[in-house]
């Protein structure tokens, strides 16, 4: 009589163990990706370009620049109102790099002409130590400024601004080469200050180094 309950109990235990060992499939999960953020498309307005004003041409009376350095000639013509100034080598086809080293032999249009400021002005030029193809020219008169006691570099600038084309510094003590003009000082000048001379005539400066004393002082 006691065996039947035991058998039933054993059978129930087997069934429970079988139920526990069986695996049920896990429910599948669907992952929804997060939405990708995109910047709102905005059409930027196209800026309206600012129109470039067209230069207004004016009448220009061409000044005389024959015998003037190319640099001073350009300044004079610009002051008069000219906008296009072209220096051209009167002897060959050399490049004109430093206009203060060249002077004007001829100009087109001629001095006194009335032209539009938009018209070009051509200048035939040669180097300061050269003679114009048609021979020596008279140049432009100017009053020589005083440069005694001034550094040679500044003296050259003052004389060229006044109208000089050829400025020659010479050692007052010996025969030394004057390489860096700012290291030298003017002891005397020829022509002297106050004289009227021509732009094509040379101006000679006797100089010493800035640490030296001028002869006779």
pLDDT at 23 over 70: no
- Range of lowest pLDDT (6-10, 120-124, 154-158): 6-10
pLDDT at 117 over 70: yes
Q: Mean pLDDT, to the nearest integer, of 56-81? A: 94
pLDDT at 8 over 70: no
The per-residue DSSP string of 84-105 comes to EEEEEESSS------GGGEEEE
Nearest to 202 by CA among 135, 119, 136: 136
pLDDT band (50, 70, 90) for residue 7: low
Task: For the chain, list the domains and their CATH numbers.
Answer: 57-137 (3.30.10.20), 138-217 (3.30.10.20)
Return d(Cα 3, Cα 136) in angstroms, integer: 151
The per-residue DSSP string of 137-193 comes to ----EEEPPP-TTSBHHHHHHHHHHHT-S-EEEEESSS------GGGEEEEEEESPT
Nearest to 61 by CA among 124, 125, 109: 109
Q: Mean pLDDT, to the nearest integer, of 63-89? A: 95
Q: Mean pLDDT, to the nearest integer, of 90-100? A: 94
Specify the pLDDT at position 49. 81
Q: The tokens of 57 are what?
A: 């041409």
Tell me the Ramachandran region of residue 149: left when phi exceeds 0, alpha when psi lies from -120 to 50, beta otherwise. left
Return d(Cα 122, Cα 3) in angstroms, integer: 137
- Range of lowest pLDDT (35-39, 62-66, 149-153, 196-200): 35-39
Q: The tokens of 175 are what?
A: 């025969």
Return d(Cα 134, Cα 196) in angstroms, integer: 25
Across the chain, mean pLDDT equals: 86
Q: Mean pLDDT, to the nearest integer, of 107-120? A: 95
pLDDT at 13 over 90: no
In tens, the pLDDT along 201-212 reads 999 999 999 999
- Phi and psi for 34 in degrees, rounded to 5? -65, 145
Query: What percent of the chain is modeled with pLDDT above 90?
Result: 68
Q: Mean pLDDT, to the nearest integer, of 76-96? A: 96
Specify the pLDDT at position 34. 62
Specify the pLDDT at position 113. 96
Return d(Cα 77, Cα 82) in angstroms, integer: 5
pLDDT band (50, 70, 90) for residue 122: very high
Specify the pLDDT at position 26. 57
Q: Mean pLDDT, to the nearest integer, of 75-96? A: 96
């Amino acid at each position: 009589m006691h065996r039947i309950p035991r058998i039933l109990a054993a059978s129930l235990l087997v069934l429970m163990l079988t139920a526990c060992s069986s695996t049920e499939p896990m429910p599948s999960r669907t992952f929804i990706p997060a939405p990708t953020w995109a910047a709102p498309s905005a059409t930027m307005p196209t800026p309206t370009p600012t129109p470039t004003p067209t230069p207004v041409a004016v009448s220009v009376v061409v000044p005389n620049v024959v015998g003037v350095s190319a640099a001073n000639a350009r300044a004079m013509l610009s002051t008069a109102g000219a906008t296009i100034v072209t220096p051209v080598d009167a002897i060959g086809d050399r490049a004109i790099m430093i206009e203060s080293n060249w002077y004007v032999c001829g100009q087109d249009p001629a001095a006194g002409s009335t032209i539009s400021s938009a018209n070009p002005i051509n200048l035939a030029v040669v180097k300061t130590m050269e003679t114009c193809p048609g021979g020596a020219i008279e140049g432009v008169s100017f009053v020589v400024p005083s440069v005694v006691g001034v550094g040679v570099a500044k003296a050259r600038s003052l004389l060229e601004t006044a109208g000089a084309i050829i400025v020659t510094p010479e050692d007052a003590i010996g025969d030394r080469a004057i390489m860096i003009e700012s290291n030298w000082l003017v002891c005397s000048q020829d022509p002297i200050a106050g004289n009227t001379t021509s732009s094509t005539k040379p101006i000679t400066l006797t100089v010493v180094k800035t640490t030296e004393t001028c002869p006779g002082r």
